[in-house]
Amino acid sequence: MNLHEYQGKEMLNSFGVEIQRGIVAQTPAEAVAAAKKLTEDTGTGWHVVKAQIHAGGRGKGGGVKLAKSLEEVEQIAGQIIGMHLVTPQTSVEGKLVSQVLITEDVYYPGESEPSEYYMSVLMNRATGRNMIMYSTEGGMDIEAVADNTPHLIFNEEIDPALGLLPFQARKIAFNLGLSGKAFKEMTKFVSALYNAYVKSDSSLFEINPVLKTSDDRVIAVDAKVTIDDNALFRHKDYEALRDLREENPVEVEAKAVGLSYVDLDGNVGCMVNGAGLAMATMDLIKQAGGEPANFLDVGGTADAERVEIAFKLILKDPNVKAILVNIFGGIVRCDRVAKGIIEAYKNIGNIEIPIIVRLEGTNADIAKKLIDESGLDVHSVIEFQEAADKVQEVLA
Ligand code: GDP
Ligand code: MN
């Protein structure tokens, strides 16, 4: 689950990570009220208006702007709220902005260049350890830094049994070229950040930029936070942070009925029971010259109702040219699944694309007979290879 910048910052701050202070607003009037409040609390004269969408690169797309007066806060908030913000990380249509974060201006005007660093915390899957990735080249496109000057990106791996050790936090501050008060502030920042990462069961923190102000404060100016969905049951309070407007509507609908559905770009919809079989089926589709349109695991109970919902979800995708159903009847008998498919097909009505059904397992032969005699435009097979050949045939 991804968080908005303002939610991520609040969460970080609750673990003692220093942040650029801000208040979220839905309207220009709320934005002005937020700016006034921030001036009272922080003494800031200028403010920054920041679009809240689940995508980075907002600055480049015109979604982050400095306001030098309350009139400008109102005017800029009015421009940004309701706009379709296009950034290097959104589609060409962009994302609708429904709220902005009003922040204190932490790049104090007139002072020498503040220093922007990059810092992320994530899992290194090759070593199975968390790591802190950081660079002196913050604020800009970290992918470009990785391409052009990879030696300016550092990694610090953390032993899961020991946690982040004090010398590691000092090494990071040292490699970022800090000394004195800023050095100390950075070690505090890194320790609090890592602690927050572990305690919140996150799978990604990306803070770009981490800012060192001219008076040597070290603060998170941006925050991309991804919480591990599999750990959400331990954090019931985080569930309220989910913004369904930012998520794929079909995936949201699938989740509500307990189906694992991931939208993909291909042309063959697939309905499978079991994640392993789903992966194998997607490989099969590719081998047959197609591209999977989705990952869909209907789970152990492939009854008529679930099959019908699954069909409907797949059919929402206009790119789907064929559907491959690949179900292993272990716990659930194939003839029951076949009846479910036939019933679902009849209930939905005008399905205009070919459906290939491969049922293997208990009562597979009875299932094939049921489908073949149903009079519906469904191709039934038992062997995996036959299914592949059929996919190839219907796509040709
Ligand atoms: P992103 O473009 O989506 O990554 O959004 P960021 O939160 O990183 O903001 C983009 C850029 O806005 C930063 O790299 C800064 O250069 C600038 N910015 C952010 N906060 C302030 C601020 O308080 N004052 C000024 N002057 N610029 C800021
Ligand atoms: Mn950023």
Of 57, 8, 395, the C-alpha closest to 200 is: 8
Q: Report the first-to-last Cα separation within the chain, whole angstroms.
A: 39
Q: Of 58, 342, 78, which Cα lies nearest the Cα of 223? A: 58
- Single-letter code of the amino acid located at 93: E
Task: Check if the beta carbon of residue 186 is closer than 8 Å to that of residue 173.
Answer: yes
What does the alpha-carbon distance between residue 63 and residue 345 come to, in Å, rounded to a whole number?
Answer: 46
- Atom from ligand 1 closest to the CA of residue 5: 7
138 lines ligand 1 (CB under 6 A): no
- C-alpha span between 35 and 152 (Å, rounded): 37
**Closest residue (by CA) to atom 14 of ligand 1?**
139
Residues with a catalytic annotation lie at 118, 206
How far apart (Å, rounded) are the C-alpha atoms in residues 115 and 96?
31
Atom number, ligand 1, closest to the C-alpha of residue 59: 2
Q: Please give the model's pTM, rounded to 2 decimal places.
A: 0.84
Q: Which ligand is nearest to the CA of 118?
A: 2
pLDDT at position 351 is 86
- Token pair listed for 75: 């005017």
- The reply to whether ligand 1 has any atom less than 6 angstroms from the CB of 64 is yes
What atom of ligand 1 comes closest to residue 50's alpha carbon? 7
In short, whether 8's Cβ falls inside 6 Å of ligand 1 is no
Contacts of 149 (CB under 8 A, 6+ apart): 137
Architecture of domain 248-395: 3-Layer(aba) Sandwich (3.40)
CA distances from 9 to 34, 108, 170, 221 (A): 16, 20, 23, 9
Atom 22 in ligand 1: which residue has the minimum CA distance? 105
C-beta 58 within 6 A of ligand 1: yes
Task: Name the DSSP letter for residue 247.
Answer: S
Per DSSP, 114 falls in state P
Domain 21-105 has CATH 3.30.360.10: no
Residue 256 is predicted with a pLDDT of 86
Helical (H) or strand (E) element with 246: none
**pLDDT under 70: residue ranges of the chain:** 109-113, 300-302
- For 332-346, the pLDDT digits (tens) are 889 988 988 898 888
Distance 43 CA to ligand 2 centre (A): 24
Nearest CA, atom 13, ligand 1: 139
CA of 388 to the centre of ligand 2 (A): 45
Q: CA 283, CA 223: separation in Å to the nearest integer?
A: 36
**Could you tell me the distance, in angstroms and rounded to a whole number, from the CA of residue 59 to the centre of ligand 1?**
6
Q: How many CA atoms lie within 13 A of 194 on its CB side?
A: 25
Domain spans in the chain, listed from the N-terminal domain onward: 1-20+107-247, 21-105, 248-395
Atom of ligand 1 nearest to the CA of 222: 7
Q: Could you list the beta-strand ranges (E) of 9-99.
A: 22-25, 47-51, 64-67, 84-85, 95-96
CA-wise closest residue to 176 among 245, 116, 95: 116
CA atoms of 369 and 373, how far apart (whole Å): 6
**Which atom of ligand 1 is closest in space to residue 104's alpha carbon?**
23
Among candidate residues 61, 50, 59, the one with its CA nearest the CA of residue 4: 50
**Which protein residue has the closest C-alpha to ligand 1 atom 26?**
107
Tokens of 12: 């970080």
Task: Find the 182 Cα to ligand 1 centroid distance in Å.
Answer: 20
Residue 167 CA to ligand 2 centre (angstroms): 28
Q: CB-based contacts of 352: which residues, under 8 Å, 6+ apart?
A: none
* Length of the chain as a residue count: 396
CA-nearest residue for atom 9, ligand 1, is 59
Q: Does the beta carbon of 108 sit less than 6 angstroms from any atom of ligand 1?
A: no
Fold assignment, 1-20+107-247: D-amino Acid Aminotransferase; Chain A, domain 1 (3.30.470)
Which tokens in the block code for residue 123?
A: 């899992």
Nearest CA to ligand 1 atom 11: 59
**Residue-wise DSSP of 341-396:** HHHHHHHH----S-EEEEEEETTHHHHHHHHHTT-SSEEEESSHHHHHHHHHHHH-
Query: Which residues 6+ apart lie within 8 Å of 221 measured at CB?
Result: 20, 106, 116, 207, 209, 210, 211
Distance CA 37, CA 34 (A): 5
In what helix (H) or strand (E) does residue 333 lie, and over which residues does it extend?
none
